[in-house]
Structure 1
Amino acid sequence: MTAAAPRAPRSDAPWDLSFLRVGALVTVAAAGIGAAVTGLLGGWGDALGVLVGAAVVTAFFVTSGLVIAWAGRIDDTFTLPAALGMFFVKAVVLFGVLNALPEHGWLDRRTLAWTVVAGALLWSGVHLRWVWTRQLYYVPPPAPPGAGGAPSTDPETPRKRG
């Protein structure tokens, strides 16, 4: 038998979910503008479809973010199964919601579905920008000044500015 490989030490750094607030604010602005334009051009049933679709996408991304962060706090290896599981659950829920709506009801299913697609792309863009603009460490970050550790002299260690 072979011995199990030693696990890397767990970081005590909390999962940063600040992209959820940014995504929600961007979605509120885009949905407000989209609903107003859609209401004027296509009718207020379509505008309601935009608002409901934006709410569905926001709820889906917030739920996924929270579940993935929860799984990551337990063990990093749980994040991928949590993400894939949430994707499956969200697809089933969306399919059920769209099928439960009447074909010619007060809410236009096609507008709702296209809003979900547009909202998912919008949230993906927000998340990508959030990741690209964050200072992410590939090693444990240096101890802050005054925390008992001397500042790092490693030239590869990024430093925070002011």
Structure 2
Amino acid sequence: MTRLPQERPGWDLSFLRVGVLVTAAVAAVAALVVGLVGGWADAAGVLVGAAVVTSFFVVSGVVIAWAGRIDDTLTLPAALGTFFVKALVLFAVLNALPEDGWLDRLTMAWSVIVGALLWSGVQLRWVWTRPLYYVTPPAPPGQATAPPAPERPTTRG
């Protein structure tokens, strides 16, 4: 019996769309409330913090999925390397911001923390509500994954 090469399941990045939409909605409401209560420099901090967190999760998701499509053993090094690069970039950006600038750095820091927790919640919910298989599920009826075996001639005797 000839076997076809088993197709590897693709990496699902649909959580990114949900995370972006949830973050955009929460950031818009939070920026409005914070802007009215604390000032527009604080509102800018909320929006920049939300953008930082969103970009970090999107970049990580795309890089890890790319590495996983090549080989599953590359996902951890890709995740750690991406995290290291993002931490260096964030450190450089935060050091480049003036202390009394157009956004409040403390508000931005808190919005990064809240945004990371929000994204973690989105990812947890996404994982808990998806059917994740340990093995590739069988093909639905009517869709053969391998060609049918040749028929054997029957002998009567």
Gaps in structure 1 of 5+ consecutive residues? 1-8, 150-162
Gaps in structure 2 of 5+ consecutive residues? 146-157
Residue 91 of structure 1 pairs with residue 87 of structure 2: yes
TM-score scaled by length of structure 2: 0.86
Alpha-carbon distance in 1 for matches of 2:118, 2:89: 20
Residue 130 of structure 1 pairs with residue 126 of structure 2: yes
Report which structure shows greater RCO (CA 8 Å, sep ≥6).
2
Alpha-carbon distance in 1 for matches of 2:12, 2:78: 17
Alpha-carbon distance in 1 for matches of 2:91, 2:109: 10
Alpha-carbon distance in 2 for matches of 1:37, 1:138: 45
% identical aligned pairs: 75
Residue 79 of structure 1 pairs with residue 79 of structure 2: no
Match of 2:36 in 1: 40
User: How many residues are matched?
Assistant: 141
Higher Cα Rg: structure 1 or 2?
2
Q: CA deviation at 1:87?
A: 1.1
Match of 1:158 in 2: none
TM-score scaled by length of structure 1: 0.83
Residue by residue, what CA displacement relative to the aligned partner does 1:54-84 show, whole Å, maximum 9, x if unpaired?
A: 0111111000000000000000000011111
Q: List structure 1 segments (4+ residues) > 4 angstroms apart after TM superposition.
A: none
Alpha-carbon distance in 1 for matches of 2:40, 2:20: 23
Matched position secondary structure for 1:34:
helix
Q: CA deviation at 1:10?
A: 6.1
Match of 1:159 in 2: none
